[in-house]
Structure 1
């Protein structure tokens, strides 16, 4: 039975302008070295510079692997709960999202799942890297676990932390690992989280 292996990572640490910092570049190099030991078929990345540059760095460790931009991996809010279902603690976060913005974000999230969260269509295993952002990772994980839509909110990934999902025909998705940072030294871990809550 063929398996689709997705190696999903948030981009490296970035500055306020969305450009990789020196820390982010180091993180991307180390993630690339880790992925170089795997039979990767393709690297996909968000169009945003922080993800594209992370993917380019990783690609240097995978010289024969094709690199593709994917609009579905762009940073977006995947689902906004209806106001009558929204917990009061979430209202500040979603304040200002109008119906059109919410619908557009959910359209992208639906396309993301359709493109990547599916079993392979061939008889061979596939191995793909997705370089994206915090919210799309949360949405893919929520989908894989068949959790309610609201559960994407509050799932966070550190910069270049690795999440691995597997998809098989006729089977529920498998979560192999989430937010794994074992390729990073301690001083490069937990970026992307506020300093006050880093373990």
Structure 2
């Protein structure tokens, strides 16, 4: 039975212009060193520069794996609750999201799941790296755990933290790890989180 192993990470720390900072470059390099121990088949990445640059650094460590841009991994809001179901604590976050924005975000989220959240059809195990953003990771995790759509909200990933999900035919997805930062020194952990909530 072939298993699809997804190694999912948020891009390295970036500045206000979306470019990797020196800390983000170090994070990407350390994540690449960790992933180099695995039989990676493909490194997929969001088209946004902070993710593309992170993936390029990782690809240098897993040189035999192709580097492929995937539109499905772009930063997006995957699901907006209907107004009558939206908790009051969430309303401010979704201010300015119109119906068209919400529909486009959910369309991308649906294609993300269709492309990546399934077991291999046949053949050997696959080992794929996905370099993306906070919200797509939350949506993939919510889907793997089979929780309601609203549960994506509030799941956060640190920069260059590793989440691993496995998909097997006719089995529920397996969450192997979430937000693991053991490859990062203390000063590079928990970036991407507001200082007030960093552990």
TM-score, L = length of structure 2? 0.99
Gaps of 5+ in 1: none
Once residues 55 and 98 of structure 1 are traced to their aligned partners in structure 2, the CA distance between those partners, rounded to angstroms, is 32
1:64 aligned onto 2:78: no
The structural deviation recorded for 1:97 is: 0.4
Once residues 107 and 195 of structure 2 are traced to their aligned partners in structure 1, the CA distance between those partners, rounded to angstroms, is 33
**What is the aligned partner in structure 1 of residue 18 from structure 2?**
18
Q: What SS does structure 2 have at the residue aligned with 1:92?
A: coil
What CA deviation, in whole Å up to 9, does each residue of 1:103-137 have, x standing for no partner? 00000000000000000012210000000000000
Once residues 109 and 139 of structure 1 are traced to their aligned partners in structure 2, the CA distance between those partners, rounded to angstroms, is 7
Once residues 139 and 57 of structure 1 are traced to their aligned partners in structure 2, the CA distance between those partners, rounded to angstroms, is 25
Once residues 131 and 83 of structure 2 are traced to their aligned partners in structure 1, the CA distance between those partners, rounded to angstroms, is 32
Residue range with higher mean Cα deviation, 24-33 or 60-69: 60-69
What CA deviation, in whole Å up to 9, does each residue of 1:26-75 have, x standing for no partner? 00000000000000000000000000000000011011110000000000
**What is the aligned partner in structure 2 of residue 195 from structure 1?**
195
Aligned residues: 199
Instruction: Give every structure 1 segment of 4 or more consecutive aligned residues whose post-TM-superposition deviation is greater than 2 Å.
Output: none
Gaps of 5+ in 2: none
Once residues 181 and 24 of structure 1 are traced to their aligned partners in structure 2, the CA distance between those partners, rounded to angstroms, is 13
The structural deviation recorded for 1:161 is: 0.3
Q: Which residues of 2 match residues 68-83 of structure 1 at below 5 A?
A: 68-83=68-83
Q: What SS does structure 2 have at the residue aligned with 1:121?
A: coil
Once residues 124 and 59 of structure 1 are traced to their aligned partners in structure 2, the CA distance between those partners, rounded to angstroms, is 21
**What is the aligned partner in structure 1 of residue 36 from structure 2?**
36
What CA deviation, in whole Å up to 9, does each residue of 1:69-107 have, x standing for no partner? 000000000000000000000000001100000000000
